[in-house]
Amino acid sequence: MNVAFWQRIDQSARSVTPFLISLALVLLSVVPLPLPGFAPVVPALAAMSVYHWAIYRPNLLPLSAVFAIGVLHDLLSGAPVGLSAVVFLSVYGIALTQRRFIAGKSFLIYWFGFAIIGFGAAIEGWLLASLWHLTLLNFRAVWFQYLVSVGSFPLIAWIFMKWQQALLIER
């Protein structure tokens, strides 16, 4: 086999990495852990992934992939199908509009951007779920999930950055 073939294989593998990482984070977020009360406040790992890739490599995570990630999240978590897809597409769209402001700035700007967009996503998800159930759901779990997500974002973002540096550097 020639070198060009292996380079195409390598490039293809690198191109699907953001989607596969996001899928892995969806699976990780729905795995039951033996921690009482943790399920409702598990960090919004998939939303973090969508935010990160929308800021740094939107060409590697298209809208169709974001939609698929959201639908899979709903199917695995028991949420109304489409709810996470709408929320993730909102995160993606807003992050894209702020990309020029956030990308290349300090980590604090990047983190603050997630905090703002993540808060909007939490409110949007809560409102959509409340509308689906025709009652105002308890906001406390949403608030704590948001806090856990913002608090764990630096670790997740560091992993994304290392992964991006190691595997997605243009060759």
Domain that holds residue 135: 41-167
Domain assignment present for 5: no
Count of domains for the chain = 1
Note the pLDDT of residue 170.
54
Domain assignment present for 80: yes
Residue 95 pLDDT level (bands cut at 50, 70, 90):
very high
Domain assignment present for 107: yes
CA proximity to 125, closest of 78, 90, 75, 76: 90
Domain assignment present for 152: yes
Question: Whole-number mean pLDDT of the chain?
Answer: 91
Residue 156 pLDDT level (bands cut at 50, 70, 90):
very high
Domain assignment present for 16: no
Residue 1 pLDDT level (bands cut at 50, 70, 90):
low
Provide CB contacts within 8 A for 39, sequence distance 6+: 32, 33
pTM across the whole model: 0.91
Domain assignment present for 26: no
Domain assignment present for 56: yes
Note the pLDDT of residue 171.
46
Give the angle subtended at the CA of 108 by the CAs of 102 and 112, to the nearest 5°.
70
Domain assignment present for 14: no
Give the mean model confidence (pLDDT) for residues 24-52. Answer: 88
Note the pLDDT of residue 168.
60
